[in-house]
């Protein structure tokens, strides 16, 4: 099937299998490997990207569901020397260790801040990021980073 979508502000037209997953398109066809595959069951959040303004777990989105969508991956957020405020906060608050969950966690955190409309506290951040698993950090620094970035976005 023919798939047309925009990823990180670049339009793409691809020929994909009807059962292809968005994460496969992003990583394989487009070579954007910042989006990780962790569990393949939508449990860990490592594959989270923004699609049409909402965070989605790309391991459960079929290619056809992304037709004409606008997708942002971690590579589309910022660049060295010009990071997104959430990326800067994760760096400043040491909110990452191995880094495997970080791209999906950052995309989910940005979505959480957008939807919170200024009403975030520690409990809301922990609940809002419950679908993103981190095996290394214990979440404390992640929560601190999200709260700090919320004031900058």
For 50-60, write each residue's pLDDT tens digit: 999 999 999 99
Bigger pLDDT: 79 vs 11? 11
Return the H-helix or E-strand segment holding 54.
Answer: strand 54-57
pLDDT of residue 40: 80
User: Any long-range contacts for 23-28 (C-beta under 8 Å, 24+ apart)?
Assistant: 23/47, 23/58, 23/59, 23/61, 24/63, 25/63, 25/66, 26/58, 26/71, 26/73
Cβ neighbours around 122 below 10 Å, total:
13
pTM: 0.94
Let me know the angle formed at the C-alpha of 133 by 131 and 137, rounded to the nearest 5 degrees: 135
The β-bridge relationship of strands 2-7 and 70-72 is: parallel
pLDDT of residue 90: 96
Bigger pLDDT: 69 vs 40? 69
For 106-147, write each residue's pLDDT tens digit: 999 999 999 998 789 999 999 999 999 998 888 999 999 999
pLDDT of residue 41: 84
Q: Which region, left, alpha or beta, applies to residue 151 given φ > 0 means left and ψ of -120 to 50 means alpha? A: alpha
Query: What average pLDDT score do residues 1-6 get?
Result: 97
* Separation CA 52–CA 55 (nearest Å): 8
Tokens describing residue 72:
């942002």
**Domain architecture of the chain: domains with CATH:** 2-75 (3.10.20.30), 85-150 (1.10.150.120)
For 69-101, write each residue's pLDDT tens digit: 999 999 999 888 999 999 999 999 999 889 999
């Amino acid at each position: 099937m023919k798939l047309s979508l925009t990823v990180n502000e670049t339009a793409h037209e691809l020929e994909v299998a009807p059962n292809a997953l968005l994460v496969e398109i992003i990583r394989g066809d487009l070579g954007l490997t910042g989006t990780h595959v962790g569990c393949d069951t939508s449990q860990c959040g490592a594959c989270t990207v923004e699609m049409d303004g909402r965070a989605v777990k790309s391991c459960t989105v079929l290619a056809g569901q992304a037709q004409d969508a606008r997708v942002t991956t971690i590579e589309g957020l910022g660049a060295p020397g010009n990071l997104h405020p959430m990326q800067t906060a994760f760096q400043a608050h040491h909110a990452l260790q191995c880094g495997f969950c970080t791209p999906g966690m950052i995309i989910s955190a940005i979505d959480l801040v957008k939807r919170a409309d200024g009403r975030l506290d520690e409990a809301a951040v922990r609940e809002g990021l419950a679908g993103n698993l981190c095996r290394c950090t214990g979440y404390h620094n992640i929560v601190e980073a999200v709260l700090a970035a919320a004031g900058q976005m």
